[in-house]
Structure 1
Amino acid sequence: MSPSLRDQLLQTAHAYLDAHNNRDLEKILALCAPTCVHRAGPPTVKSPDRNNDEYATFNVEVFKILHTYLATITDAVVDDVSKKVALSVDAKATADAGEYENEYVILLKMTEDGKQVVEQYDFVDSQRMIEWMGKLGVWSKEMWEKK
């Protein structure tokens, strides 16, 4: 018996987050529709919209910086009529620049069958992101000066 649409949407959302936790770009892209748009906000984060290729390129660079990364779903809301899943997520990571912790609300809009993401919107705690970028900038400058 195939899962209900609601269960399929939730299953895809979990698989999508797991693929990010496992740094599996092939799986991430397999879960994205060819025309998927990846967005991040709020506007203070100043992140451009990305297509799948741009999103993959961006994540390759992020994965190089982070030694560990774990995003944990703390809550999920599924709307099977609009084919959307809203996830509340706590993320933790380690890097040479220090520890990273943040909260996200991730909105995933999916295909009619609920098996692929057509739009991703990550709403991040911008204050924490700006602080992390500052730490990363200080660390990068220190590494550059040591050369």
Structure 2
Amino acid sequence: MADFKELRATLQRTATTFIDCCNKHTVDAILSLRADNCKHTHLPSSLDIGTYNNAEYGAFYGRFANMMKDCTCWIVDDKEMVVDVESRKVVMHAKNKGNTPLGEYENEYMWILTMTGDGKMIEEIVEFCDSAKAIELMKKHQAK
């Protein structure tokens, strides 16, 4: 039973650290918890962003990282975080808010993180965001 509890705590800690990495706003930080084979899928599919490997996601994120420096991401309620030890998955609700060179930005996310066997690295990220907010930001970014 101790192994189960330890793995659960590790999964939860990795998910929390993932949010901390998001708040560093660097490609190195955002990729630091990802296993070499990590895949990152953006949803809803109507955003037409798709699935990226680490190198692809680093390039994608790099286009927005500097713009998001004054934004903060946080877990809405860690009591609502779902930790499935057997599948090594964590589901969490997060928000992001702050100022960008393009104006105030705010978004809301559901993340599903699938971890490695030891729970310390992320093998898969499924990110579901408020698509209206994401589209608005992308349009502003393209227009600048």
Q: Same fold (TM over 0.5)?
A: yes
Is contact 1:98–1:135 with CA below 8 Å preserved after alignment?
no
Rg bigger for which structure?
1
User: RMSD between aligned alpha carbons?
Assistant: 1.9
Per the normalisation by structure 2, the TM-score is: 0.87
Match of 1:58 in 2: 60
Equivalenced residues, count: 139
Match of 1:47 in 2: 49
Measured in 2, the distance between the counterparts of 1:62 and 1:73 equals: 21
Letter in 2 for 1:42: P
Per the normalisation by structure 1, the TM-score is: 0.86
Is contact 1:109–1:118 with CA below 8 Å preserved after alignment?
yes
Q: How does 1:78-97 map to 2 (within 5 A)?
A: 78-97=83-102
Q: Which digits, 9 at most, give the CA deviation of each residue in 1:51-105, with x for residues without a partner?
A: 1111112222111222412111013111111100001001113211111101100
Q: Tell me: CA distance 1:29–1:66, structure 2 relative to 1, closer, same or farther (3 Å).
A: closer
- Percent sequence identity over matched residues? 35
Structure 1 residue 119 corresponds to structure 2 residue 124: yes
Is contact 1:19–1:25 with CA below 8 Å preserved after alignment?
no
Moved over 4 A (4+): none
Match of 2:7 in 1: 5
Is contact 2:26–2:65 with CA below 8 Å preserved after alignment?
no
Q: Which of 73-82 and 110-119 deviates more?
A: 73-82
